[in-house]
Amino acid sequence: MENKKSGAIDLNVTDFMPITRQEILAVNSLPVDIFLKISDTKIVLIGRKGSRSLDDLHVLDNEVVSEFYVRKNEYRDCVGQNLTIAGIIISKSDISDPTKTEFLTRTAFSVFNEIESVGFNHESLEHAKLVSKSIQNLISSKPDLLSVLNMLGTVSDDLLRHSMAASAVSVMIAKAMGWTVQATLEKVALGGLLHDIGMKELPSDILTKPRYEMTPEERLYYETHVTRGVEILSTMPSVADDIIAMTMEHHENALGQGYPRRIRDFKMNPLAKIIALSDCFCELTLKNINYPMPRSSEDAINYIENTMGQPFSKPALFALRKALTKSSNIGVVKIAS
Ligand SMILES: [Fe+2]
Ligand SMILES: [Fe+2]
């Protein structure tokens, strides 16, 4: 509700999402309206969509101010623009690796906020963030992993966002299944990040075409991203066999109707069962070329169970539901003091 006299709006955490200073400074013009928190319950509009962020928003020069918000339903537009920048930054050869890693960390922050809006509970998200941080450290220390991640950023914004989201959601599913070994969770996270790396070999006319518009031949060609990804990762010393299996089997399903080998659930690598579900769930719930109107988490699970006939591992789906169950902490916006 707007207060006419002060221009302040009631801060309702269900309508607004926090955004970092870095995310705003990274853009040339604001992709959405930006708000500043002025009290525990009030925010004011400080930058209109389309304005030039650096010139118009002097308030951003104030290092003390860090509590910015955007409307939740506009957050995806913000993330999209940021990922464009992330792709440019990580693909540039004259930018140092630490700078690239730092930008990836910020990008991961954006993706986590977007995933949070899908409805994952606080505990699951916090755990996935920790694992994400540790694999970002791992990636920054392994030149082969950093170079393969650079490849992802050069393909498309959607792919970078999808890969980061699939990574985080896979970790949340694994954790909710009771998996606790850090090394395994890191493998799950890395597998989620790299599972679609084979897309980099596909031409842009295939990558920019929704699957429902592809001819059968184009569809078969598109499906080669799986084996192309395996070929790329097999040459890399830092990539474990489980990660290669996750890549190879991320489009297989429990009904034996997937590709490329049409293997059933019991023959699949346990980590691959998780990425297969996570991959599908992320595609249904995060805006992308195949689903321009993303579904809510509830709709997505209904779609998986009823329309698709539940083609994924039952324990993994059960765990996904568990990670989506609201906890007492959900909805609390954490503000640095
Ligand atoms: Fe894929
Ligand atoms: Fe995928």
Residues 55 and 117 in one domain: no
Distance 195 CA to ligand 1 centre (A): 7
Domain count, the chain: 2
In order along its 337 residues, the chain shows pLDDT tens digits of 444 445 677 777 667 877 766 566 555 667 778 888 777 778 888 778 877 654 455 555 554 555 678 887 776 566 555 555 555 555 556 656 666 666 666 677 778 888 888 889 888 888 888 888 888 778 777 888 878 877 777 787 788 889 989 999 999 999 999 999 999 999 999 999 999 999 999 999 999 999 999 999 999 999 999 999 999 999 998 899 999 999 999 999 888 999 999 999 889 999 999 999 999 999 999 888 888 888 999 999 999 999 999 999 999 999 999 999 865 333 333 323 2
Residue 224 placed within a domain: yes
pLDDT of residue 232: 94
Residue 275 lies in a domain: yes
Shared domain check, 303 and 209: yes
Nearest ligand to the CA of 163 is 2
The SS3 of residue 70 is: strand
Residues 309 and 254 both lie in one domain: yes
Ligand 1 centre distance from Cα of residue 251 (Å): 6
- Domain shared by 47 and 147, yes or no: no
Same domain, 198 and 70: no
Encode pLDDT of 282-309 as tens digits.
999 988 888 888 899 999 999 999 999 9
Residue 70: beta bridge partners? Answer: 17
Residues with CB under 5 A from ligand 2 (ion): 196, 279
* Residue 41 shares a structural domain with residue 129: no
Question: What's the gap in Å between 151 CA and the centre of ligand 2?
Answer: 15
Do 47 and 164 fall within a single domain?
no
CATH number of the structural domain spanning residue 257: 1.10.3210.10
Instruction: Give the separation between CA 272 and CA 285, rounded to whole angstroms.
Output: 20
Query: Residue 231: which domain range?
Result: 92-324
Residue 236 lies in a domain: yes
Residue 102 burial (10 A CB sphere; 0-12, 13-18, 19+): middle
Same domain, 133 and 260: yes
Alpha carbons 5 and 211: distance in angstroms, whole number: 51
In a domain, 2, yes or no: no
